[in-house]
Amino acid sequence: MSNHPPKAGSLDSTAVARIRTETLDWRFKSVPTELCGRTIEEATAIRPRLFDDGFLGPFVVLESAALEHNLATMAAWCARHGVALAPHGKTTMAPQLFERQLEHGAWGITAANAGQLRVYRAFGVSRILLANQLIDASALRWLAGELDGDPEFTFACWVDSVRGVTLMTEALSAAGASRPVDVLLELGAAGGRTGVRDRDSALAVAAAVRDSPALRLTGAGGYEGVLAHDATPESLARIDSYLDDLRSLVLALSEQDLLDRSRPTVVTAGGSAFFDRVAEGITTGWPEDLDVLPILRSGAYLTHDDGFYRGISPLGTSPRSAGESLRSALRAWAQVTSKPEPHLALLTLGRRDASFDQGLPEPQWHRAPGRLPARLDGHEVTALNDQHAFLRLPDESPVEVGDWIGLGLSHPCTVFDKWPLLPVVDRDGETVVDFVRTYF
């Protein structure tokens, strides 16, 4: 394995800067009326305050100090463990945040589909992993044009079937592509998602790539997160076994001379739940003559959360790895709109506003009129409708109609898609110091 850390990826900073020239208006559901007609840059310069300057609730904000902490923490962790990072951009679909990840040393950005890939390239992302097999002829024709038009653009996607290799080859040949497309053989597992399930199938796919004039096999990868949903010894053993199989597959590809050896061999895995096991699995056990580039694709580390990842992350509340813990950088604020029963309040936040697929929002803060936020204990969101949250109140609850409740959120991947614009707040939790634009 190479001892030289790879150079960080890049993007078009001018294109990212243009985001701040967009004019705010009714399209951005929480933006104050007073800020409509101003650009994002102009609105940021005012440093508006969430509760004093007309923001329309509910709203979700990013906390700047936690974001910076998570960026620095993950960059340092990856450097210590000898892995490159290509965070999954589908979590945020926010080029402003991609830029910060790349500034903190990320090798590239991972995408899940062709639509995301096109967004990335609109902002000049220089290295992209597409964590799926790309077989759509229209997308491949577009990709061929991107590769031919930019010699500095590095791209790789998965392959997991001979049929897929055939479809890719036909589409790229028809498009007259002059650069071969790099592909990584995806290893799946029983009960998993995509990816080859056995060694013979894997070698057959690799041989098909070898024989393709349009493709080049540059490594292997997969996704372990679907194989376990907790950190019990049994689950961790399942993850480790999968990574052993991935290593064995790469070694077999190398021994049978099926890999393109003109560049480092990419070996990649890693969601945000088990990246400690992945780092160990993809950086160990390699022969000296095999130049391996191990890449994590963890994306949710950037904002972390107050739910699923808080409990399972190697840098969560029950850490499995040395280093500072990650911090939740997402906060939702909703107003109490009704208190129809002594132990029930309804909040102006629902499934249209917050994630609910990996746990319900967690009430953490109470803000009464004219008062600073105070910690809120003993309260629980028990259900979400489209536009309402059901808040169960204990005896002697301070919560009244008109108050604001600050909520922690679980699973950031299903939060960002609900918000085309998110305010970024300073350490006081209320002063807006930036806005982040998303493109879903």
Residue 385 scores a pLDDT above 60: yes
The alpha carbon of 240 is separated from its chain's Cα centroid by a whole number of angstroms, namely 22
> Band of the pLDDT at 1, cuts 50, 70, 90?
low
Say if CB 53 and CB 421 are below 8 A apart.
no
State residue 323's pLDDT score: 86
Q: Are residues 132 and 264 in the same domain?
A: yes
State residue 402's pLDDT score: 98
Which domain CATH number covers 58?
2.40.37.20
Q: Are residues 233 and 381 in the same domain?
A: no
Other beta carbons within 10 angstroms of residue 101's beta carbon come to: 28
Say if CB 178 and CB 148 are below 8 A apart.
yes
DSSP 195: S
Say if CB 218 and CB 266 are below 8 A apart.
yes
Residue 291 scores a pLDDT above 70: yes
Whether 87 is in a domain gets the answer no
Residue 3 scores a pLDDT above 80: no
Q: Are residues 283 and 138 in the same domain?
A: yes
Whether 234 is in a domain gets the answer yes
Whether 419 is in a domain gets the answer yes
The fraction of the chain above a pLDDT of 70, given in percent, is 99
User: Among residues 49, 12, 56, 14, which one has the least CA distance to residue 33?
Assistant: 56
CA distance 324 to 319: 9
CA end-to-end span of the chain: 37
The number of distinct structural domains making up the chain is 2
Return the structure tokens found at 277.
Answer: 């096991």
Q: Are residues 156 and 257 in the same domain?
A: yes
b/e code 348-369 from CB counts within 10 Å (16+ = b) = bbbbebbbbebbbbbbbbbbee
Whether 386 is in a domain gets the answer yes
Residue 145 scores a pLDDT above 60: yes
CA distance 328 to 339: 29
Amino acid at position 420, single letter: P
Q: Are residues 28 and 164 in the same domain?
A: no
Q: Which residues constitute the domain of residue 18?
A: 13-63+326-437
Q: Are residues 170 and 248 in the same domain?
A: yes
Whether 313 is in a domain gets the answer no
* Alpha-carbon Rg for the chain in angstroms: 23
State residue 73's pLDDT score: 98
Task: Calculate ∠ Cα 300-306-310, nearest 5°.
Answer: 65
Q: Are residues 20 and 147 in the same domain?
A: no
DSSP 65: H
Q: Are residues 282 and 146 in the same domain?
A: yes
Whether 352 is in a domain gets the answer yes
Return the structure tokens found at 195.
Answer: 């990816």
> Band of the pLDDT at 390, cuts 50, 70, 90?
very high
Q: Are residues 293 and 338 in the same domain?
A: no
State residue 6's pLDDT score: 83
Q: Are residues 292 and 332 in the same domain?
A: no
Q: Are residues 330 and 292 in the same domain?
A: no
State residue 191's pLDDT score: 85
CA distance 148 to 135: 18
Which domain CATH number covers 157?
3.20.20.10
CA distance 325 to 327: 7
User: Among residues 96, 107, 88, which one has the least CA distance to residue 10?
Assistant: 107
CA distance 439 to 118: 11
Residue 2 scores a pLDDT above 90: no
> Band of the pLDDT at 95, cuts 50, 70, 90?
very high
CA distance 5 to 3: 6
Query: In the listed set 247, 282, 297, which residue is the last one of a domain according to the structure?
Result: 297
CA distance 224 to 221: 10
Q: Tens of pLDDT along 180-224?
A: 999 999 999 988 899 999 999 999 999 999 999 999 999 999 999
Name the one residue in this structure whose structure tokens are 């479809």. 167
Q: Tens of pLDDT along 146-176?
A: 999 999 999 999 999 999 999 999 999 999 9
Q: Are residues 251 and 175 in the same domain?
A: yes
Whether 305 is in a domain gets the answer no
Query: In the listed set 248, 279, 297, which residue is the last one of a domain according to the structure?
Result: 297
Whether 413 is in a domain gets the answer yes
CA distance 316 to 311: 6
